[in-house]
Amino acid sequence: MTTYISRRPALIAAVIMLAVVAGSAWSIRHKSETIAAARPEEAQASQSRLSRYAVGIGAGSPEQAKTLGLQWMTWPPALDAVLNDSAATTLPEGVQFPIFLPIRPMMPEAMLRTIAERRPGTYYIVGNEPNLPPEFNVNATATADPDTFAQAVAQYATLFAQIDPTAKLVGPNVINWSFTCTGCGGFRAGNEWTAQMRDAYVARYGAEPPFDVWAIHLYDLDYRALPNGNADRQIAQIQELRAWLDSSPGLAGKPIWLTEVGFHWGYPGIEQREDGRFYPVGEFAYDHVERYMRALYGWLNDNAEAPNVERWFIWTNWGGVEPPLTVWGGINLMEGPAADAAIGRFGRLYRELAGLTP
């Protein structure tokens, strides 16, 4: 059986290379008890905030989502767990997750029917950073030109209308909106690619792309200002996507998910050595990253309702280092990839921002 596992693209390695050339566990049950003890209006507000916080586990145990007290996660192997009918024993109880759908080739109908039977009403993430060129995206099954992507979306929507009308499509998951990167080779802006995909869909089918949720990945890819972490620039990408959606009556008010949001390089420098691999320069900037997290997620806490940002998945990647990098330079919430790993500094902060006890 073909394994459809969506991987984090090799953008970190490719962009950095080009830049150098150019210049105590808490469960969801415990949280529920805490909310129940609060006044009703406080409990409702706390639950609403918590439901927005999610984690993308690029490499590591899915049990970590429950350890963190979160209700949503992405974990690429979840698809195989559903198809193999092992979700009950493989995935943490009480944690919801969407399923990734590839573009080329599309997922076979038989697999979709199996998922629909076992998990009706599932959210499906369609595509993965399709505006990246192939050399930046190892997940070639998720990338496509705008017209091919539009056709795949239409086919998925038609099929789900037959096998599970309660299914939800989430897309197109471009990386960033108007900002691409600095100190790198560049790629097509998300707003340009999305507009072309939407025009292709409307031209072919006479309707707007049938996404129940419009989704984007947010990364501050500035390799001339290390460490990364310009929260204001990421916030601007959200606001610009909201404005674009609201410019069309057919898309106005549609909810937004940040299906990946995070950080690529938390070190003040990077160097390529004789072995051709890239190494961090200096110490990891923990204080800088914490300030960035407070700025971005603090803004989301205060402002997410107005632009209808329903959910955000912070991307973590224990063990997911791709050559020629030697370390993962982004954010991790836990002290290791194992199910029983301790919550780390950034995990405690993420819980705090979500309204959970650190």
Burial 293-308 (b: 16+ CB within 10 A, else e): bebbbeebbeebeebb
Is the confidence at residue 1, as pLDDT, over 50?
no
Which of 138-152, 188-202, 214-228 is least confident? 138-152
Counting every residue written for the chain, the total comes to: 358
Type of residue numbered 232: D
Is the confidence at residue 310, as pLDDT, over 80?
yes
CA dihedral sign of residues 287, 293, 299, 301: negative
CA distances from 341 to 94, 321, 354 (A): 19, 19, 20
Q: pLDDT tens, 79-121? A: 999 999 999 899 999 999 999 999 988 999 999 999 999 999 9
Bridge partners for 99 per DSSP:
124
Q: pLDDT tens, 244-261? A: 999 999 999 999 999 999
Mean pLDDT across 344-352: 98
Q: Is 50 exposed, middle or buried (0-12, 13-18, 19+ CB in 10 A)?
A: buried
Q: Is 243 helix (H, G, I), strand (E, B) or coil?
A: helix
CA dihedral sign of residues 44, 48, 49, 53: positive
Please tell me the distance from the alpha carbon of residue 98 to that of residue 79, in angstroms, as a whole number. Answer: 9
Q: Which position has the token pair 């989430």?
A: 170
Q: Which CATH superfamily is domain 11-353 in?
A: Glycosidases (3.20.20.80)
Mean pLDDT across the chain: 88
pLDDT of residue 25: 40
Which of 33-47, 270-284, 328-342, 344-358 is least confident? 33-47
- Residue 21 has phi, psi (to 5 degrees) of -65, -40
pLDDT of residue 139: 61
pLDDT of residue 210: 98
Q: Going along the chain, which residue ranges are E strands?
A: 53-57, 72-74, 99-101, 123-126, 168-175, 213-219, 256-262, 269-272, 278-281, 309-316
Mean pLDDT across 140-159: 89
How many CA atoms lie less than 13 Å away from 263 in the CB half-sphere? 29
Name the band, by pLDDT with cuts 50, 70 and 90, for residue 59. confident
Q: pLDDT tens, 175-220? A: 999 999 888 777 899 999 999 999 999 999 999 999 999 999 999 9
pTM for this prediction: 0.88
Domain boundaries, the chain: 11-353
Query: Which ranges of 7-76 would DSSP assign to H, the alpha helix?
Result: 11-22, 28-37, 40-52, 63-67
